[in-house]
Structure 1
Amino acid sequence: MYLSELKIWNFRKFGEAKDGNPGLILKFNHGLNLLVGENNSGKTAIIDAIKYTILTQSYENIRIENEDFHLPIDRTDEKERATELRIECIFRNISDLEAKNFLEWLGMEKNHQGRYEYYLKVFLTAKRQGNNVYYDIKAGPDAEGKLLNGETRNLLRATYLKPLRDAEKEMSPKRNSRLAQILESHDAFRDREEEHYIYDVIKEANEKIKKYFNGLDIDDTPLVDQEGKKLLEQVNKYLGEFSGNKGSLSSNFTIAKLKLKSILERLNLDLTESKSGLGSHNLLFIATELLLLKRDSYQGLKLALVEEIEAHLHVQAQIRLIDFLQEEVRNSNLQLIMTTHSTDLASKINLENLIICKDGRAFPMGHNYTELNKGDYLFLERFLDSTKANLFFAQGVILVEGDAENLLLPTIADIIEKPLSRFGVTIVNVGNTAFLRYSRIFKRKEIELGLLKIPVSTITDNDIKPDIYKRKDSDARTKEDLEIEKPIEQRRQERKEKIEGQSVKLYISPEWTLEYDIALGTLQKELLIAVLRAQKIENSDVIGLTSEKIQEVDNRVDEICKEWDEQGHTNEERAFYIYNDLMLEKRISKAITAQCLADLLRQKK
């Protein structure tokens, strides 16, 4: 069985639709689910909604507070806060062996193949009256449901790893320690009490310790060292004085009470390497929690909720961990629902396992929900690296096809006082013209379920050679030729229709390429300077751009501009010279040119 669907009414960020439908309907994968999104996008609210409804293996004290009831965005009046909330967790793929534990609460439904299957709906309903909150957790196929008994509730508890967890503390010995709870639930210790080998070990150790503090060896012969006996006698003497006339108190030393639970609470799990860091202890904690999920004989829910899976881990450790977890869920019946702020993790996980949280909604990225084709998923798995994965956490995305746009756009945004970082906009350099694949990430199949409102601007070259190109190659197909076959504007419109839709817009350069179009405009001289500076940098990587070289470039630019004026070159001829004759024919780096142009623009500002 696994958590198939979550529905939320009026819980935190998630309100209620006007027609009374849930504010959030989220379907999960059977195996791995990774919630991504910017801060305050609802990731923790989703985890908590599940946790509050089915509770946790660590038996946390969970209660609904007034602040858990939905208050509409931009509202501060408490009178507008919801007075009722509801959370539904729906479980599917229930085997006959698992079903026998939930017979009173099960429902039947047809699957996509038309066959009837079990499902289990567990729901939390809460009301608030003044400062008091009243809630129930029930289950059943109807709206009313029945209360779950304690034994059944325990079979639904999830393993929960909180964010910023202190793994070393969790694994330390103490009453009701997390380590003791895990071990006590494992087949190695469950229901074995006095039959267990560890019980016998502690019993024997307690006897030896008791004899030591009575001054005796294991065979009851007096010890040479009687200091332990004197110590205990002194403690008991004090106790006798404190006891009064009601009977003398006495004490004895032991390692632990002779109960398996008490013994397990004394155990400490640590790494063999001393002075290990927080990251290593976090991995140890996760490994230990997996023990609960991997119990073969356990007939309950095998679900782990993990917030900020990357906590305290460096990038390579994050990648190894997510690779292991993906393989683990593929080969077992475990279900993981995790959150992350790590672009490295988001780039390594299969796109179908991602869920983007945005504006009080959650958007699964599986093939049933997006306009991505099967080939798109395979392509994106190959090329979606950590820099491109920024798009999952952005408030806006600009897709570009080269380094020049990637370097220039942030500078231009700063100059017009619209810095990208302030507005949460990320630039994704797709490195080619595969915009269609990337843009489909943001397009939903069922728009009635909500649009992914992340504005996406796609910037691309027109890639139509100007007529002046025929001076270089008389056989070239230029703007004039293409216009005869099909109007240029029609070509542009067809490209837009292919890419655009929902929150995605396509912006095509007016003429040929970014660099050529800049050369046609008012930054013509600055681009010429940038091209010649880039050439100097490429020819001398070690020394770089010295003041002497800058002066040489400035002098050369003055000479070129003077020649143009004297010879009456048109603006188009000048732009063609800069882009084609210099950049392309002399293979001057577009990226270095863009970097130099960005520096010049910042200086002008």
Structure 2
Amino acid sequence: MYISKVSLVNYRNFANAKFLFNKGINTIIGENGSGKTNLFRAIRLLLDDNLLPSSYKLDLGDFNRSLGDYRGHWIIISLEFSELSDDEAIQSLFVHGAGQIEGNKVSKATYNLFFRPKADVRFMLSELEEGDVVGLNEIRNDITLEDYETFFTGKSTADFNDPEVYKNLVGDFDNVRFTYTYNESSFGVKIPHQLSVSKEVSFTFIKALRDVVSDFHNNRTNPLITLLKSKSNNINKDDYRQISETVISLNSRIEDLPDVQQIRADIKNTIKDAVGQTYSPSSLSINSSLPSEADKLLQSLKLLIGEPGETYEGGIHELSLGGANLIFLTLKLLEYKYQIARETFANFLLIEEPEAHIHTHIQKTLFDKLDFGDTQIIYSTHSTQISEVSNVENINILGKKENYAEVYQPSIGLQSSETEKIQRYLDAVRSNLLFAKGVILVEGDAEEILIPTLVKSVMGVSLDELGISLINIRSTGFKNVAQLFHNDRIRRRCAIVTDSDHAIMDTTIQDGDNSRLKRIKRRIERSAKKGAERRVDLDTFCNGNEWVKAFYAEYTFEVDFVEAGNYQEVKEIVDIIYTSENKKQAARKELDSDKVDVFGRRVLTMANKEGKGWFALLLGKYIYSETILPDYLVDAILFAKGTFSRSLLSDILTYRAKKNFELDNNLDFSEFHAVVTSYISEEVDLATLLSSYEAVDPSDQILCILRKLQSCSNGTRKT
């Protein structure tokens, strides 16, 4: 038995979210604040018996903020279980509780938590005439959290993620249509929480490892004490009797020490001298309180540990953060092993961000080793090392939006052969694309090295600040990865950046061509043909998918870079690449040419001579704010980013103003800076901001870049 689906409606940052899980190890990926902890909290509300009873009384902060006014709405948390065993006990539990009977046995089961208005409120809502908005508002105005109850059901068949199902169950607030009764066969029958599924399963939650030392100092959260308590109940009294008698004897010997008795007498005499016989205590003793009971004595034990490669053993507080976290995690896993030994119907282990302060090799090894066979494990993480070794079919990705989060399953709708290719491809570097807000796929080292440098130098912000991951495919096989980005899978923008490889010269073989020139022409012609075929193939692949788009260099990255006007940057490395003065002069002259067959052949010759990766590293030292971003790269970046906040656009323009003023201190940007303030406070629009900048520096390339943004997005959103 395993959790196959979790549905969350109006719960915390999930307005309407569906998580799909498989048997074995599952991974939740998401940036900070995307809702990983909230998901685990929701599961715990249904399966964790260690939660305090007060946890089930939800509060205002548990309602999703996108609701606006929570009053009258419901929070729905629904778990679906699959592959229930044929065991008579578990079949009995679910037949009478949460199961859906198919034939003679239960194969699926649901367990739901509704946080809903109490019966009297629901009845008043059901009495409203359809469309009575005034009456609805009057009732809602009087609703408080005290009018809410927590209600558990099982045996539901409804899809709670369907908005129409929500309207049928909770009500249609827009059209004011509410009912008091509901279909139990669809929405589930009531289950008393004291008879809940949580009492029949083994469930362990390991929270994010942030303050381990504090947890070890707290008897309630110390995992060592939890383990010792569990064992103390199994101690054989006969085996322990001798130890207990020895402890009692030791207490007596400590109390009888002459120094202890002397201090006792001194205390007694001092009190008598101070307040007299009448007000002095009638008796006074100093007792040794070493526990003689088995459970208490075990709990007094302390854990001493030595770091790897060291002989010294110290307390938890003396360990490194990584060492302390690893020990904490180990003890919680042992606690879990003790739990599953008691033959429960199902075993669940939730681990929140295990990567905290733990070395990357340990992260990967931990994930690889943690497999208890009959246990469903769910990790949450933002570690690329863990996501690298995660099965892409068992991943749920959280996408953070304004006031809510979306959930993506990257393998939905893909064939097993396609997911296998993706699985092999997603190493620790490339798995970054699972975390990014936008992705740019490139085909080679030159793009991987130079595009981040270009963006930072020209726009003043890094690709990381833009939320964009740039991934080097190291080939033109983009489709294997780009298919992840789809309305059914990961709903994030993916820009494919590749070369068209148009011929930079006439490839017709002439009578006077020597053998070397003929080879060059044939090679260029073959590349142009492949480039044209690739373009048709990619355009067909992207057609109809709003999340993926291809952007093409007309020739190659290096040629288009020079064609954009960046010949001076390439000339800066001529002296590094060539030693002959004649070749240096020839290279500079050809790079100054306005003919693509001249400067194009030269820059490609230089790149091939050094290797494109090394060429890009050399060139990267001479990228400045004046360097021109090729047009197709601008389009790719704007597509991958999607929307730009007012503050981000202001930062970009302010950076450009600063850089241009450094080049020419006659430029007066004072009025522009005043407009920036008005733009951030939404007093003026983007067109006004750009016009203000253009009045000072009309030739700056940033104007062309942002006017492209203005034309394609028609505005910005507020952060």
> What TM bracket, shorter-length normalisation?
0.7 to 0.9
Return closer, same or farther for 1:467/1:571 CA change in 2, 3 Å cut-off. Answer: closer
Q: Distance in 2 between matches of 1:238 and 1:99?
A: 69
Aligned match of 2:21: 28
Tell me the equivalent position of 2:189: 144
Pick from 342, 353, 358: which aligns with 2:383? Answer: 342
Q: Partner of 2:203 in structure 1?
A: 158
Partner of 2:493: 455
Gap change, CA 1:60 and 1:28, over 3 Å in 2: farther
For 1:177 and 1:101, locate their aligned partners in 2 and report how far apart those are by CA, in whole Å: 36
Establish whether residue 226 from structure 1 lines up as the match of residue 269 from structure 2.
no
**Matched residue, 2:612:** 590
Deviations along 1:266-292, one digit per CA (max 9) or x if unpaired, are 233342432322211211121221223
| 1:101 CA displacement | 7.3
CA distance in 1 between counterparts of 2:452 and 2:591 reads 32
Pair 1:205–1:101, CA change in 2 (3 A): farther
Measure how far apart 1:323 and its partner are. Answer: 2.2
Tell me whether 1:435 sits opposite 2:469 in the alignment: no
Q: Find the counterpart in structure 2 of residue 92 from structure 1.
A: 82
How far residue 196 of structure 1 moved from its aligned partner, in angstroms, is 7.3
Q: Which amino acid aligns with 2:380?
A: T
Helix, strand or coil: the match of 1:505? strand
Decide which of 290, 293, 311 is 1:258's aligned counterpart: 293
User: Contact between 2:501 and 2:527, CA under 8 Å: does it hold in 1?
Assistant: no
Pair 1:311–1:250, CA change in 2 (3 A): same
Amino acid at match of 1:102: L
Rounded to whole Å, the distance in 2 between the matches of 1:119 and 1:425 is 41
Q: Deviations over 1:70-101 (max 9, x none)?
A: 111xx8x6x35774211112223333166067
Q: Residue 67 of structure 1 corresponds to which residue in structure 2?
A: 61
Q: Is the CA contact (8 Å cut-off) linking 2:5 and 2:79 kept in structure 1?
A: yes
Q: 1:133 to 1:588 in 2, by over 3 A?
A: farther
Q: Do residues 356 (structure 1) and 401 (structure 2) align?
A: no
1:399-418 equivalence runs, <5 A: 399-414=441-456, 415-416=458-459
Q: 1:127-185: CA deviations, max 9, x gaps? A: 47425474435242142321132685333463122224433443457367443333444
- In structure 2, list runs of 5 or more residues that go unmatched: 118-142, 157-187, 307-312, 628-719
Q: 1:87 to 1:263 in 2, by over 3 A?
A: farther
CA distance in 1, matches of 2:341, 2:42: 28
In structure 1, the partner of 2:47 is 54
Partner residue of 1:575 out of 572, 591, 599: 599
Question: Judging changes above 3 Å, is the alpha-carbon distance between structure 1 residues 57 and 39 closer, same or farther for their aligned structure 2 residues?
Answer: same
Q: Distance in 1 between matches of 2:54 and 2:391?
A: 35
For 1:507 and 1:251, the matched residues in 2 are separated by 84
**Which string of whole-angstrom CA distances, capped at 9 and with x for unpartnered residues, describes residues 102-143 of structure 1?**
343141355xxx995433322222247425474435242142
Whole-Å separation in 1 of the counterparts to 2:399 and 2:72:
21
Check conservation: 1:37, 1:394, Cα contact below 8 A: no
Give the distance between the partners of 2:286 and 2:148, measured in 1 at CA: 46
Contact 1:11 1:70 in 2 (8 A): yes
Q: Residue 387 of structure 1 is aligned with which of 425, 429, 448?
A: 429
Aligned counterpart, 1:600: 622
Distance 2:564 2:470 in 1: 24
**Counterpart of 2:624 in structure 1: which amino acid?**
R
Q: Larger deviation: 6-15 or 593-602?
A: 593-602
Q: Cα 1:82–1:288, aligned 2, differ >3 Å: closer, same or farther?
A: farther
- Would you say the 8 A contact 1:57–1:158 is kept in 2? no
3-state SS of 1:52 partner: helix
CA separation of 1:276 and 1:482: change in aligned 2, threshold 3 A: closer
Aligned AA for 1:374? S
Which residue type is aligned with residue 39 of structure 1?
N
Tell me, in whole angstroms, the C-alpha distance in 2 between the residues paired with 1:173 and 1:204: 29
Q: Which residue in 2 is equivalent to 1:220? A: none
Q: Secondary structure at the match of 1:602?
A: coil
- Aligned pairs for 1:130-279 (under 5 A) are 130-132=144-146, 134-136=148-150, 138-142=152-156, 143-149=188-194, 153-156=198-201, 158-172=203-217, 174=219, 177-185=222-230, 188-190=231-233, 192=234, 195=237, 197=239, 199-200=240-241, 202-213=243-254, 215=256, 225-229=257-261, 252-256=287-291, 258=293, 260=295, 262-272=296-306, 273-274=313-314, 275-279=318-322
Asked whether 1:120 is paired with 2:120, we answer no
Deviation at 1:33, TM superposition (A): 1.5
* Cα 1:81/1:459, change in 2 over 3 Å: farther
Corresponding position of 2:364 = 319
SS at match of 1:50: helix
Specify whether residues 515 and 7 from structure 1 end up closer, same or farther in structure 2 by C-alpha distance, changes over 3 A only. Answer: same
**Aligned CA distance change for structure 1 residues 375 and 91 (closer, same or farther; 3 Å):** closer
Whole-angstrom CA distance in 2 between matches of 1:30 and 1:264:
37
Contact 1:124 1:136 in 2 (8 A): yes
1:105 matched residue in structure 2: 97
How far 1:581 moved relative to its partner?
A: 3.8
Following the alignment from structure 1 to structure 2, what is the Cα–Cα distance between the partners of residues 347 and 582? Answer: 36
Instruction: Find the aligned partners of 1:284 and 1:348 in 2 and give their Cα distance.
Output: 22
Q: 1:171 to 1:151 in 2, by over 3 A?
A: farther
Q: What stretches of structure 1 of length at least 5 have no aligned partner?
A: 16-22, 216-224, 540-551
Report the AA paired with residue 141 of structure 1: K
Is contact 2:63-2:70 (8 Å) kept?
no
Retained in 1: the 8 A contact 2:248–2:292? Answer: no
Tell whether the 8 Å contact from 1:55 to 1:158 is kept in structure 2 after alignment: yes
* Identity fraction in percent: 23
Q: Which amino acid aligns with 1:107?
A: G
Q: What corresponds to 2:325 in structure 1?
A: 282
Q: Cα distance 1:164–1:533, how it changes in 2: closer, same or farther (>3 A)?
A: farther
Asked if 1:426 is matched to 2:469, the reply is yes
Distance 1:153 1:244 in 2: 58
Pairwise CA distance, 1:479 = 7.4
Are the aligned partners of 1:174 and 1:266 in contact in 2 as well (CA < 8 Å)? Answer: no
Native 8 Å contact 2:223 2:332 kept in 1: no
Find the partner of 2:553 among 506, 509, 516: 509
The alpha-carbon deviation at position 559 of structure 1 amounts to 5.1
Contact persistence 2:232–2:298 (CA under 8 A): no
- Evaluate the alpha carbon distance shift between residue 384 and residue 166 of structure 1 in structure 2; reply closer, same or farther with a 3 A threshold: same
How many Å separate the matches in 2 of 1:243 and 1:163? Answer: 58
Distance 1:201 1:400 in 2: 73
User: Relative to structure 1, is the Cα distance of residues 176 and 506 closer, same or farther in structure 2, using a 3 angstrom cutoff?
Assistant: closer
TM-score (normalizing by structure 2): 0.66
Residue type matched to 2:35 in 1?
G
Structure 2 CA distance for aligned equivalents of residues 10 and 286 of structure 1: 32
How far is 1:502 from its partner?
4.1
